[in-house]
Chain A
Amino acid sequence: GAVVSQHPSWVICKSGTSVKIECRSLDFQATTMFWYRQFPKQSLMLMATSNEGSKATYEQGVEKDKFLINHASLTLSTLTVTSAHPEDSSFYICSARDLTSGRDAGELFFGEGSRLTVL
């Protein structure tokens, strides 16, 4: 299957700082990527849909000024958590569908996830 890589896997930061998480599609081009957040023992919650070359689409209740998304190329989307606070501590996961290689069967391919801890 297609490969999505996410970096960093773990990050610990102080309250008030900003953290950037990168999501890369390694062997396919992704015009759309999805950013999820998952709290312990809960399901995935879609935060936003990242669109290459245009603004991201945010889900209701997600602050777009706090969670900045940039999808500047067909293989890279970034999520920046600005002025992070302890309540932002969570597991952030990106995903994409492989629509360009002809292998798409509808499934999402996920990055490894990034565990953010804000002190």
Chain B
Amino acid sequence: GQNIDQPTEMTATEGAIVQINCTYQTSGFNGLFWYQQHAGEAPTFLSYNVLDGLEEKGRFSSFLSRSKGYSYLLLKELQMKDSASYLCAVWDSNYQLIWGAGTKLIIKP
């Protein structure tokens, strides 16, 4: 079966750095997405990786290793507004989007 694993919950301190990991086993791979979802709101797009390596976008960076079936989202200079759930999603060989359960990130002052 297809599976995406990410931690259920993480806690970090304002101003610090946090890394949210995602591992996947899917039938084929056409790219990996990270979305941010604040409580009670719809997800918003953060990043898309299809090639190995690190993609940096401001305070957020996303890394992909296709051989390891692994990605991480790195958040720097954490702000209170970064408290949200972070969803990892993978496009399989049929371009069907497989979603992880999300990681709830709690930022403490």
Contact = CB atoms under 8 A, between A and B. Distances in A.
B100 to A, nearest CB: 6
Chief secondary structure at chain A's binding surface: loop
B41 A43 contact: no
B97 interface: yes
B93 interface: no
A43 B100 contact: yes
Contacts of B91: 106
Given A105-B48, A106-B48, A106-B91, A44 B43 contact: yes
Interface residues of A, number: 20
A112 B87 contact: no
A107 B43 contact: no
Interface string B3-47: 000000000000000000000000000010100000011111100
Contacts of B50: 106
A40 to B, nearest CB: 10
A106 B33 contact: yes
Nearest to A110: B42
Contacts of B97: 46, 108
B44 A106 contact: no
A91 B41 CA distance: 9
B48 A107 contact: yes
A115 interface: yes
Contact of A113 (B41, B48, B87, B99): B41
Given A44-B87, A107-B33, 16 more contacts: A6-B42, A42-B101, A43-B100, A43-B101, A43-B102, A44-B99, A95-B42, A106-B48, A106-B50, A109-B45, A110-B44, A111-B42, A112-B42, A113-B40, A113-B41, A115-B40
Interface of A: 1, 6, 42-46, 91, 93, 95, 105-113, 115
13 contacts: A43-B101, A44-B43, A44-B99, A91-B40, A93-B43, A106-B50, A106-B91, A107-B33, A110-B42, A110-B43, A110-B44, A111-B42, A115-B40
